[in-house]
Amino acid sequence: MKSKQITKKIVAGKYKGKTILLPSKKTTRSSKSIVLESFFNTIQFEIIDATFVEVFSGSGSIGLEALSRGANEILFMEKDKDALKILKQNIANLGSDACSVYSGDSFNNINEIIAKLKREKKEAYFYIDPPFSVREGMEDIYDKTMDLIASLPKTVVKLIIIEHMSGLEIPEIIGAFFQIKSKKFGNTTLTYFQNS
């Protein structure tokens, strides 16, 4: 029996009600709607005309929601082949040319994103939702994520948002950035970092 395609809808903005396809639960987790709602309530007006980078994109649900709510440009980064296919399909379904997809390892591709932002003299919102470290082969994912954040130059960062397991201790300072707030939603926490 063919498994039913999992979907969710864009909550607000110009694409409100449009359906987003989600990859199978095995490869990626979709951000919970309560987390999504809180995040967009926090940055709702700031995001208009902004550049938004979704570092571990999965289906692209966060970035596409940001696009719907007025962000100017979305840069997606994803490694998983199934998730990439769905991500590209979701972008195509919205018919927007404001999205770019960087396929492959986010830890390598981040340099390309940094170079692009520097070249265009842009600051971006970085939404970073790494796979949970409890997954096989992902034990050091959070260490690598902290290194990735520390490698970001202040000039390209407007705000960094990390979606992570609630039990994880996130340092107060990472590289040139300091923690400004943290909000817990059951097993998931959103932690925000800004330029120091």
Taking only the tens place, the pLDDT of each residue in 4-58 is 788 899 999 999 999 999 887 655 555 677 888 899 999 989 999 999 999 999 9
Q: Which amino acid is at 192?
A: Y
Instruction: Give domain limits for the chain.
Output: 6-195
Handedness of CA 145, 148, 154, 160 (dihedral sign): negative
Query: Span 78-98, mean pLDDT?
Result: 94
Q: How confident is the model at residue 4, as a pLDDT?
A: 72
- Residue range 106-165, pLDDT digits in tens: 999 999 999 999 999 999 999 999 876 555 555 688 899 999 999 999 999 999 999 998
Question: What integer pLDDT is reported at residue 167 of this predicted model?
Answer: 87
Buried b (16+ CB within 10 A) or exposed e, 18-40: eebbbbeeeebbbbeeebbeebb
Closest CA relative to residue 65, chosen from 80, 47, 88, 46:
47
Domain 6-195 has CATH 3.40.50.150: yes
pLDDT of residue 121: 97
Q: Is the pLDDT of residue 194 over 90?
A: yes
Higher pLDDT, 139 or 186: 186
Residue 29, pLDDT score: 56
Encoding tokens for residue 58?
A: 């999965």
Number of Cβ atoms within 10 Å of the Cβ of 9: 13
Whether residue 193 has pLDDT greater than 70: yes
What's the pLDDT score for residue 20?
93
* d(C-alpha 60, C-alpha 68), whole Å: 12
**Mean pLDDT in residue range 157-186:** 94
- Rounded to two decimals, what is the model's pTM? 0.92
